[in-house]
């Protein structure tokens, strides 16, 4: 990665963090069109701090064909922390596998497009993925020579996504959202950085789904 590209990434990250800090610190934040907007979904624990703030389902992103998870939003939905379970059935001779993942996302931008429509145009994050299945391991089985295989069941993850929400602040589900994420794991991102023949999309997998915010 060139010095120019690295500088651009650092600048973009700083801009996102600055926007997140400004929004989290301003309790009177409203979109520009607030004069004719529906009441914004309250950012609070109306169901109790112990109840997750959102649930989501999805597919892809190295997590599995069917993925379900829950999480909490902090600082007016600027930060999300969640966990997910995924399952991939047997396919093409490959065995089924299960996954557990945890993630942290930074979501500083929330744009009101219409009275009842909100867009999160970009969010970024990362976490860890633990996969379970035949031939997947964190510690190499003793039947193989020392360091013969690299661990293949635990991976750092990174993602960038966008979300479109329908606002229903007076209902139990205060936001119905659909989202898209481009997700990668450390092994594939490392291969992309080391191999000039690979393109950025070779290291990423699409993850799509639905999210209900309470």
Dihedrals phi, psi of 23, to nearest 5 degrees: -70, -40
Closest CA to 111 of 162, 71, 73, 74: 162
DSSP-assigned beta bridge partners for residue 126: 104, 158
- For residues 166-190, one letter each, b for 16 or more C-beta atoms within 10 angstroms of the residue's C-beta and e for the rest, the string is ebbeeeeebbebebbbbbbbbebbe
| pTM (2 d.p.) | 0.76
DSSP-assigned beta bridge partners for residue 213: 54, 175
Distance separating alpha carbons of residues 16 and 110, to the nearest angstrom: 12
Give pLDDT, residue 2.
43
Distances, alpha carbon 119 to alpha carbons 16, 62, 67, 203, 206, in Å: 16, 25, 23, 26, 19
Give pLDDT, residue 107.
97
Give pLDDT, residue 186.
93
CB 72 within 8 A of CB 52: yes
The alpha-helical segments, DSSP class H, found in 26-158 are: none
pLDDT tens per residue, the chain (214 residues)? 444 444 544 455 555 555 555 554 544 444 444 444 455 555 556 777 789 999 999 999 999 999 999 999 999 899 999 999 999 999 888 899 999 999 999 999 999 999 999 999 999 999 999 999 988 989 888 887 887 788 889 999 999 999 999 999 989 999 999 999 999 999 999 888 888 888 888 899 999 999 999 9
Distance separating alpha carbons of residues 148 and 188, to the nearest angstrom: 20
Closest CA to 132 of 180, 87, 199: 87
Give pLDDT, residue 182.
97
> Running DSSP on this structure, what letter comes out for residue 214?
-
Give pLDDT, residue 32.
42
Distance separating alpha carbons of residues 90 and 21, to the nearest angstrom: 44
């Amino acid at each position: 990665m060139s010095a120019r590209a690295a500088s651009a990434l650092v600048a973009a990250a700083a801009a996102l963090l600055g926007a997140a800090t400004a929004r989290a610190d301003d309790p009177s934040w409203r979109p520009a069109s607030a004069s004719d907007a529906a009441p914004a979904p309250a950012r609070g624990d109306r169901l109790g701090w112990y109840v997750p703030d959102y649930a989501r389902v999805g597919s892809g992103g190295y997590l599995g064909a069917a993925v379900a998870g829950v999480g909490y939003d902090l600082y007016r939905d600027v930060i999300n922390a969640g966990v997910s379970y995924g399952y991939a059935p047997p396919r093409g001779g490959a065995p089924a596998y299960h996954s557990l993942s945890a993630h942290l996302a930074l979501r500083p931008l929330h744009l009101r497009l219409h009275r009842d429509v909100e867009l999160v145009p970009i969010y970024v994050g990362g976490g860890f993925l633990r996969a379970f299945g035949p031939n997947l391991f964190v510690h190499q089985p003793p039947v193989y020579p020392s360091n013969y295989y690299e661990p293949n069941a635990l991976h750092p993850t990174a993602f960038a996504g966008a979300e479109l929400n329908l606002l229903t602040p007076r209902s139990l589900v205060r936001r119905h959202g659909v989202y898209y994420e481009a997700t990668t794991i450390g092994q594939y991102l490392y291969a992309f950085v080391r191999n000039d023949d690979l393109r950025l999309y070779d290291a990423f997998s699409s993850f799509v789904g639905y999210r209900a915010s309470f």
